[in-house]
Amino acid sequence: MVRPGQQLHPHRDPAPLLPAATVLLLRDTAEGIEVLMTRRSEHASFAPGAYVFPGGRIDDSDIEARPIATRRRTQSRLQLTQSIAAIRESFEELGVLLARHPDGRMVSGAEVAAMDRSTPPEMSLAAQCAVRGLRLASDQVFTLAHWMTDRDLPKRFDVPFLVARMPEGQVPVADETEQFEPCWVRPADALARFAQKRFAMLFPTVRTLERLAAFDSVDAVLAVCAREQPLWTSCPRAGLLGGKQARYMEHEAPYGELALVCPDGQILHPLDWQCQEPVRLLKNVQRLTANNPSAMTGPGTNTWIVGDASTGYIVIDPGPNDFDHIGRLWRLTQGDIRAIVCTHSHADHAPGALPLQALCRQRPPILGLPSAPTARASARFTPDRTLQNHERITLAGRAQQADSVLSATHTLRVIHTPGHAANHLCLLLEEDGLLFTGDHVLNGSTTVVDPPDGNMTAYLHSLDVLDEACVTHGVEFILPAHGYVLGQARAAIARLKAHRMKREAKIAAVMRQLPDGTPEEWLELAYDDVPSRMWPVAARSLEAHVDRIRLLTRI
């Protein structure tokens, strides 16, 4: 866990989450699924003027209504209460009621129109249903997703997004107090209007519609929701992109970085990629990205600077031999560099080490692993000193803070991780549980494993080694050589390994299908989900997988 004293922004407690529920009422049309939406009042305390799905807070009356609600065998008591709340809200806001007569008939539009929708009503919805012998059709309401309102907002909700089929014969009528302009809209059309700024929507609404647009019928939606688990759960985070707020879900590239820098949801962290200035992530960790963007390097190679003015600095992956980048590193550290560590010897990581060392008066040692004989000519590297597995590199100093003097220590543990390259290593910042992974784990792409210096079996084993290190040292964040910081470190490693094994299974199947095929023929089939412009790069990893498959199965 990151030391609180290294965080850039003071701790604050986000607003508490309030239980709520919302429901997507769906219907089939010749053009596809439509969903019922309504515009919130411009004076609403939450999301004024936005188009939303009916819903609101869960209250005591929803629990009291359980005796008149029908329940699926697999539906939990919490899901039942949430479904009741969604049914009540859709009735109060839009005059749509999911309820049945004892003989199974859904309540008619005329019957609903005769019921009291005032706020507060003289008689609760449950009481009105009981008088009429109706039972709430909560067994027809399913969980689609689970959203928690962003940590930066003053009013927050813990809300399932539920789905149900719109009852036939009922027509939505807004209450004209909180909700206006009920409309049926195809998800794709709502998203198009939103893009044109003609349809204001909240981030969770937009992302839910994006997922919903993939379904071609209401039955298909309800079928996938029948497992009683949300298709996704999310509490978004926001950063600054181009000076404006931009929000992201957990699976999106910037999410982990925002969790590291602004754990309590402050919207302060810039996400724009640039190479002119360092990006400060913690008081003791900065990133300077080299100006070498490409299909292979993404936005560029991340050079990580660990330490502070009291301890001096360790530079991880000085990058290419780029005069401007090296000069920026020297100015950023004021030349007080205690060590330069190269995670491996590839041309976008190590060549900057010697010129950076030459600029520093104390000539810091260049540390790493020497390149193996299998390395390409462009990746030959000999460090001043070879780092041993599990060796610790320590920066120590004294930092003045308030009225006391505190010791500042930053310890990097070396972890040998061959696979992407024979001389690849990772570094673990022990005090803060941060893992610098070089090219072994990237954000937004999978690394190339290029034989003979790259080895797929070694690569997969090294993933297991990193996972063990995450468990032992409580690692939550991965700081890669390309892309944003990754959160949920163990899950990221598990996804990467699963992806590799899935690709390997696909390659093995193609090899069995075409036992006399060429690597080019295997590549076209095994990487048919990858743009053909990337096939020359994919061919290297294909070779690594083929070598491993042949070793394991003697194909």
In CATH, what number is assigned to the domain containing residue 37?
3.90.79.10
For residue 165, is it within any domain? yes
Q: Are 252 and 229 members of one domain?
A: no
- Across the range 417-437, mean pLDDT stands at 98
Number of domains into which the chain is organized = 4
- Across the range 66-74, mean pLDDT stands at 94
- Across the range 46-54, mean pLDDT stands at 88
For residue 28, is it within any domain? yes
pLDDT of residue 407: 59
Q: Are 221 and 245 members of one domain?
A: no
For residue 12, is it within any domain? no
* Structural contact between residues 399 and 412, judged by C-beta atoms closer than 8 angstroms: no
For residue 6, is it within any domain? no
- Number of Cβ within a 10 Å radius of residue 525: 15
Picking from 493, 515, 533, the residue at the C-terminal end of a domain is: 493
Residue numbers of the domain that contains 260: 237-272
For residue 376, is it within any domain? yes
pLDDT of residue 554: 74
- Across the range 10-21, mean pLDDT stands at 95
pLDDT of residue 546: 96
Q: Are 195 and 253 members of one domain?
A: no
pLDDT of residue 43: 78
Q: Are 401 and 334 members of one domain?
A: yes
The helix or strand, by DSSP H or E, that contains position 33, with its residue range, turns out to be strand 32-40
Q: Are 205 and 166 members of one domain?
A: yes
Please give the sequence-ordered ranges of beta strands (E in DSSP) within 417-516, or none if there are none: 425-429, 434-438, 477-480
Picking from 272, 297, 323, the residue at the C-terminal end of a domain is: 272
At 500-509, the pLDDT tens digits run 999 999 999 9
Nearest-angstrom CA–CA distance, 447 and 419: 10
Nearest-angstrom CA–CA distance, 498 and 504: 10
Q: What is the DSSP string of 210-247?
A: HHHTT-SSHHHHHHHHTTSS-S-EE--EEEEETTEEEE
Q: Are 99 and 196 members of one domain?
A: yes
Q: Are 379 and 443 members of one domain?
A: yes
pLDDT surpasses 90 at 18: yes
Q: What is the DSSP string of 81-116?
A: HHHHHHHHHHHHHH----EE-TTSPBPPHHHHHTS-
Q: Are 225 and 245 members of one domain?
A: no
pLDDT of residue 404: 45
3-state DSSP call for residue 547? helix
First and final C-alpha spacing in the chain: 46
pLDDT surpasses 60 at 406: no
Q: Are 250 and 293 members of one domain?
A: no
Q: Are 121 and 245 members of one domain?
A: no
- Across the range 462-466, mean pLDDT stands at 98
pLDDT-derived band of residue 271, with 50, 70 and 90 as boundaries?
A: very high
Please give the sequence-ordered ranges of beta strands (E in DSSP) within 115-243, or none if there are none: 135-136, 142-148, 156-165, 179-185, 233-234, 237-241
For residue 335, is it within any domain? yes
pLDDT-derived band of residue 403, with 50, 70 and 90 as boundaries?
A: very low
Q: Are 99 and 128 members of one domain?
A: yes
